[in-house]
Structure 1
Amino acid sequence: MTTAESLRTSDAAPTEAGGGRRLRLILLACCLGQFMNVLDASVVNVALPSIGAELGFAPTRLNWVNNAYTIAVCGFLLLGGRLADIFGQRRVFLAGVALFTLASSVGGMADDPATLVLARAFQGLGAAVMAPATLTVLGTTFTAPGARARAFGMWSVVSGAAGAVGVLAGGLITEWFSWRWILLVNVPIGLLLLALVRWVVPETPGRGAGRRALDVPGAVTVTAGLMALAYGIAESHTYGWGSARVLGALGTGAVLLVLFVLVQAKFATSPLVPLAIFRNRSVSSANLVAFFSIAALFSTFYFFTLTLQQVLGYSPLRTGLSYLPLSLGIALGGWGVSRLVPRTGPRPVLVTGLALAAAGLLWLSGIDAHSGYTADVLGPALLLGFGMGGVLNATTNAATAGLPPRQAGLASGLLNTTRQLGSAIGLVTLAAVSAARAETALGGGRALPEALVSGYGLALGGAAVFCLAGLLAALAVPGRVPSTPHPVRS
């Protein structure tokens, strides 16, 4: 970096003492990028029947519209987070948005299953680059504890609410327009985001040039290992846990991840994931909390939708509207604790939020065909949303605090990877438990509606168990975590 470039970078970087308008625009850019990421992980679900009918998907292959996205995100998140540290946060943010937008346009115009699945995979790759960049930008821009908590609070609100909003948006767009607009709507939003990032997000100096600063063996082993693991989890829906395909993928993933740890510990001169980061109790325990809390939340989106449609008989549109209290609860919870976390530390917020979420899920698990929305759905949805909103905020703070700026992207990628794995593993586990309970009920002579109620109720109760496991992990989070030091600019 030349002296002139350094001065331009320094001058362009807003400070928390001034430049309030620009700071708000940076926060808007990061939240909009994260909203696009999370929304696309859930918005497609409601439209899957329409997609399958128009493009001629085989019934057993339709789930690859989601699997391709999930596998790419899981595989590349850690690498995506490291790229922001090496090449600069704005440059990588722009690259992620551009790839995501281009893949959305290709997917929206797809005429065959292969094109759509490939486009979804490249969407996932773009999201894996963009998602950690949004957190890196926030962590290096908002460094004072209060401002940091508010910024991460808004980002967390968007992360949690976007999953619920995706169900509503998917129903509205599919019913009123076409499933293609679920993807094509990303194009104008992406173009706006590109301009916004280019205008307001400051660049950070990279750590080095290209391959010399990148741990290639580590990147290859962790990316391939996580993709193999995600592939095995995804295929378990179709082939079962005991199949050679699933066991082979899971075994390959495990071997590659062990090899990755060995490379990081013994051979890498500039490791992709310095293992010393896990000595930071806040980082390690917060990632464990993130795994269990997201396993609970995203599994709930799936089983709550099935409960509303197949047990209570709601239409897709009414189902989407029923998610509004949950979205509102997440927004209120995330924003409400943004001023509390700097004063109390994240641990009390995590423990309280997970306890509230577990109570809401246990309440939801009792829904049957005779339940009413006001008496049996509204209350637990608000309770779950409020608790999870606080958890998302406090987890993000704890998992990224107290680290030097050069590890901001690493911590962001690690947190997002943990969340993606939690959502995948949590859903697959509870789906298997739910299906087994429903099959047992059918074998015992119960009618299909009663069997479904039993299976979905057990899955929601299982999500409550995930929350309690997260609560135990939250007890290990330090009562106070230091704020991230201000980035050094050269």
Structure 2
Amino acid sequence: MAARQRGLALALLVTVQFVLVLDASIVNVALPSIGRDLHFDQADLSWVGNAYTLAFGGFLLFGGRVADLAGRRRMFVAGLALFTAASLAGGLAPTAGALVGARAVQGLGAALVAPAALSLIMTLFTDGPERNRALGLFGAVAGAGGAAGAILGGLLTDGLGWEAVLFVNVPIGAAAIALAPVLLPEARDQQVRGFDLLGAAAVTGGLALLVYTLVDANNAGWDSAATYLRGAGAAVLLAAFTLVEARVRHPLVPLGIFRGRSLRGGNLAAVLATMAIFPMFYVMTLYLQQVKGYGPIRAGLGQLPVAVTMASGAGAGSRLITRFGARGPLAGGLAAVAAGLAWFAGMSATGHYAADVLGPAVVMGLGGGLVFVSVTIAATAGATAGESGLASGLINTTQQVGGALGLAVVVAVSTAASEHSSARVPAAALTDGFQAGMLAGAGIALAGALAALLLVPGRPAAGSEAPPVTAPPPSRSEIGG
């Protein structure tokens, strides 16, 4: 494929990935309007976001393996069609239940698209430095999407109404569906014919139940019987999945893939990184609106420095990784995230934006850009062409689970600290809680930096310019225009 067409294909893939990540956060600013118009109970309003996260996280491994077997372009288009149709249905939803259902279908479509998109990048870009640049761009948009969601959500909600945060996906999705057959190659694993239905059911059920346990733990109570039972159920299903994979002829996830040190270390670092980074967007939004009194648009624009610096960090990260390997940039990026979160924890109810938000945002953004590029490259290095969808599904899954776990932990810590605060002014008590949550995030980021130093391989071997990519035999994978 010509360089120009590969560049256009990359632009299409990263644009779609940006939209998928954006949709996890773009509805947050619109929640008050949605609640009023569709008469949501306050306790149920969070499910507008949770339904998307639950389906997205639960079906990612399934989507990644199906992309390997059925064809990555095919699954990219099918998932995007599902996502686009659900976006239209969500914007037209007449009731709360209809909107939550549409958001769940959106998440399912996203779970089919995301691993297919990442594995198509791995198929299109096989050269080390070129692949690192492509994965760097992919990681940058994934990281910046969280901040951009708050900005676009505020602009669309204030200007056109909450329905616009869903309708905006429709023209983008339709255009991407039309362009995909022209710009993207087809690629599939020709060697494996069978499909592990039992394993797919076990891992999808286990991951969905795990994410549900995490996103609802603060409502149900961490020490409640419901949380314990859900957690135990998730553990049983995931243990059963492991047993099934060790015994079936054509496993959904061949356990041998975990022998790769880079994949193991990259995925563990990704869990810890997203635990630290994703809740930061949530806390920053609440701090700016509930403590500083910003409106939705101003609060969204207040997070713009994170998106800009994250893109800058990602661009620098891909060059550093090509030269030095993933370990140093990943550990350094997580250390910067920890420093930024610790700085942000110094916020006050009467502080100024420049000192309490802008400075920490720049540090966190630069570090986060390094992190998202590094974990993506580390976790997919060494994957064969036939396993690229699976490796992509794994890294997307660990990021989703890490984000859900981190948000649950930070919300629990923040709530407890606010409730036990000695401050008499509500804004000050809220700030005390946010401070505690960000300190918890800083500790998690430091743990991630240590894990990266210990578990992620260092500089590539002599003569190699990037983390190694194992080329499969010609019979294993077929790529067609």
Matched with 2:196 is 215
Matched with 1:244 is 225
Matched with 2:445 is 467
The answer to whether 1:97 aligns with 2:97 is: no
Residue-by-residue CA offset, 1:131-153 (whole Å, 9 max, x unaligned): 00111001111011110010001
Secondary structure of the 1:339 match is: helix
CA contact (8 A) 1:87 1:207 kept: no
Q: CA deviation at 1:268?
A: 1.4
Matched with 1:449 is 427
CA distance in 2, matches of 1:194, 1:460: 40
The answer to whether 1:254 aligns with 2:235 is: yes
Choose 227-236 or 54-63, whichever is displaced more: 227-236
Q: How does 1:99-114 map to 2 (within 5 A)?
A: 99-114=82-97
Unaligned runs of 5+ in 1: 1-13
CA distance in 2, matches of 1:200, 1:470: 37
Matched with 2:21 is 38
Q: CA deviation at 1:487?
A: 7.8
RMSD over aligned CA atoms reads 1.3
Secondary structure of the 1:111 match is: coil
Secondary structure of the 1:168 match is: helix
Residue-by-residue CA offset, 1:317-369 (whole Å, 9 max, x unaligned): 11111111111110000012222211100111011111111111111110102
Secondary structure of the 2:349 match is: coil
CA distance in 1, matches of 2:105, 2:115: 16
CA contact (8 A) 1:89 1:204 kept: yes
The answer to whether 1:485 aligns with 2:439 is: no
Secondary structure of the 1:398 match is: helix
The answer to whether 1:271 aligns with 2:259 is: no
Q: CA deviation at 1:394?
A: 1.1
Choose 477-486 or 103-112, whichever is displaced more: 477-486
Q: CA deviation at 1:235?
A: 2.1
CA contact (8 A) 2:67 2:188 kept: no
TM-score by length of 2: 0.95
CA distance in 2, matches of 1:184, 1:103: 10
Q: CA deviation at 1:93?
A: 0.6
CA distance in 1, matches of 2:355, 2:420: 29
The answer to whether 1:49 aligns with 2:32 is: yes
CA distance in 1, matches of 2:153, 2:282: 14
Q: 1:448 to 1:487 in 2, by over 3 A?
A: farther
Choose 373-382 or 422-431, whichever is displaced more: 373-382
Matched with 1:11 is none
Residue-by-residue CA offset, 1:23-58 (whole Å, 9 max, x unaligned): 111101110121111000000000011001001111
Q: CA deviation at 1:404?
A: 1.1
Matched with 2:463 is none
Q: CA deviation at 1:116?
A: 0.6
Q: CA deviation at 1:228?
A: 1.1
CA distance in 2, matches of 1:375, 1:113: 40
Matched with 1:406 is 386
Q: CA deviation at 1:111?
A: 0.3
CA contact (8 A) 2:83 2:105 kept: yes
Unaligned runs of 5+ in 2: 461-466
Q: 1:484 to 1:24 in 2, by over 3 A?
A: farther
The answer to whether 1:203 aligns with 2:182 is: no
Q: How does 1:11-26 map to 2 (within 5 A)?
A: 14=1, 19-26=2-9
Matched with 2:406 is 426
Q: CA deviation at 1:422?
A: 0.3
Matched with 2:416 is 436
CA contact (8 A) 2:66 2:75 kept: yes
CA distance in 2, matches of 1:486, 1:21: 26
CA contact (8 A) 1:140 1:486 kept: no
CA distance in 1, matches of 2:473, 2:311: 30
TM-score by length of 1: 0.93
Match of 1:66 among 43, 46, 49: 49
Matched with 1:376 is 356
Match of 2:11 among 3, 8, 28: 28
CA contact (8 A) 1:312 1:368 kept: no
Residue-by-residue CA offset, 1:142-175 (whole Å, 9 max, x unaligned): 0111100100011011001111000001111111
Q: CA deviation at 1:486?
A: 6.8
Residue-by-residue CA offset, 1:54-102 (whole Å, 9 max, x unaligned): 0111111111111111111111000000011101111111111100001
CA distance in 2, matches of 1:406, 1:208: 8
CA contact (8 A) 2:384 2:469 kept: no
CA distance in 1, matches of 2:358, 2:223: 39
Secondary structure of the 2:30 match is: helix
Secondary structure of the 2:187 match is: coil
Percent of residue pairs bearing the same amino acid type: 48
CA contact (8 A) 2:188 2:386 kept: no
The answer to whether 1:234 aligns with 2:218 is: no
